[in-house]
Structure 1
Amino acid sequence: MPMIEVTVPEGAVEAAAAERLREELATTLLRWEGAPDTEFFREITWVYWHEIAADRLAVGGRSRGAPRFRVEVTVPEGALSQRRKDGLAADVHAAVTAAAGLDPARALHVWTLIREVPEGNWAAAGETIRFAELKKISQAERETSVAS
């Protein structure tokens, strides 16, 4: 049930590249969570794309700085070890810089924030979702994939 929110200045990423980036970010997060890349898990992995007017971003309090990108990833607590968080952050950075045509060495132009929702604080369809239940569903999805 991960969510990804990407905030970008208008025009910083071309439409086709943005479409590919949203797909790549979902794929990347599923991989680092260890979730199977199935239709069920795709359906519960949402990517919100927020474009803001270029003059609405201030860098150092000054308008019209070079584009900056914020990627916020929200996952259930326990879904990502520190090793997985590190890998996710590196892959998100690479994907965003590639989509925007930026030199990957410009590290401070892409910030990734990983937020963990404590157990018992995430609900869907009117019911609290437990991480242990997601793990069971993940295992069942894997077994179904292998059987197919």
Structure 2
Amino acid sequence: MPMIDVYAPDDLFPADADARLGGELTHAVLRAEGVTAPGPFHLDNTAAFIHRLPATAVSTASTPSARSVRVQIITPPGSLNREGQKQIVREATEIVAKIAGDETLKARTWVVLTEAAEGGWGLSGTAFGVEEFTALRDRAAAARTTA
């Protein structure tokens, strides 16, 4: 159950691109985690937050209004192995550039991977760790087989 945050100048992506950006990034993260056939459990519990910022809120030392993007992906402990990390950074960068319609954006897209600490992920009033995530996954799998 990853969480995705995208921070970008408010006019960088088309006005109607938020759902597409969130959806494509969600599927990319799940692929990188090894989820080959995401079902409702994965899709309903992966949130993407698109933060459109005033152009002056994104800057570098040389550009007061930088045309850069930051994608932060927070995953449960142990969800991404090294190959998964490489895969999601590559795919997220490609998705951002494609949706923005600007291939040069690949050089200005930062992807930050953050792994939640064991027990440092809260949902429904519960601090989740490996044990709780495993129980959730097992319940979801059992529900699929009885449905």
TM-score for the superposition, normalised by structure 2: 0.86
Name the stretch that deviates more: 137-146 or 42-51: 137-146
Gaps in structure 2 of 5+ consecutive residues: none
Cα separation, partners in 2 of 1:125 and 1:140, compared to 1, 3 Å:
closer
TM-score for the superposition, normalised by structure 1: 0.85
Name the stretch that deviates more: 30-39 or 42-51: 30-39
> Shift in Å at residue 143 of structure 1?
6.5
SS at match of 1:51: strand
Q: For residues 2-36 of structure 1, give each alpha carbon's deviation from its aligned partner in whole angstroms, at most 9, with x where no partner exists.
A: 11000010110002333211110111111211235
**Match of residue 10 from structure 1:** 10
Q: C-alpha distance in 2, partners of 1:143/1:34?
A: 19
The letter of the residue matching 1:10 is: D
The letter of the residue matching 1:72 is: Q
Q: C-alpha distance in 1, partners of 2:98/2:26?
A: 16
Name the stretch that deviates more: 44-53 or 128-137: 128-137
> What's the C-alpha RMSD, in Å, of the aligned pairs?
2.2
**Match of residue 21 from structure 1:** 21
- Taking the TM superposition and a 5 Å limit, the aligned residue runs for 1:67-106 are 67-103=67-103, 106=105
Q: Please say if residues 94 and 106 of structure 2, whose CA atoms lie closer than 8 Å, have aligned partners that are also in contact.
A: no
Q: For residues 46-93 of structure 1, give each alpha carbon's deviation from its aligned partner in whole angstroms, at most 9, with x where no partner exists.
A: 11111111122212253133x100000001120100110100110000
Q: C-alpha distance in 2, partners of 1:31/1:134?
A: 18
The letter of the residue matching 2:126 is: E
Aligned residues: 146
Q: C-alpha distance in 2, partners of 1:146/1:11?
A: 45
Q: C-alpha distance in 1, partners of 2:94/2:58?
A: 22
Q: C-alpha distance in 2, partners of 1:41/1:101?
A: 28
Q: Please say if residues 38 and 141 of structure 1, whose CA atoms lie closer than 8 Å, have aligned partners that are also in contact.
A: no
**Match of residue 34 from structure 1:** 34
SS at match of 1:20: helix
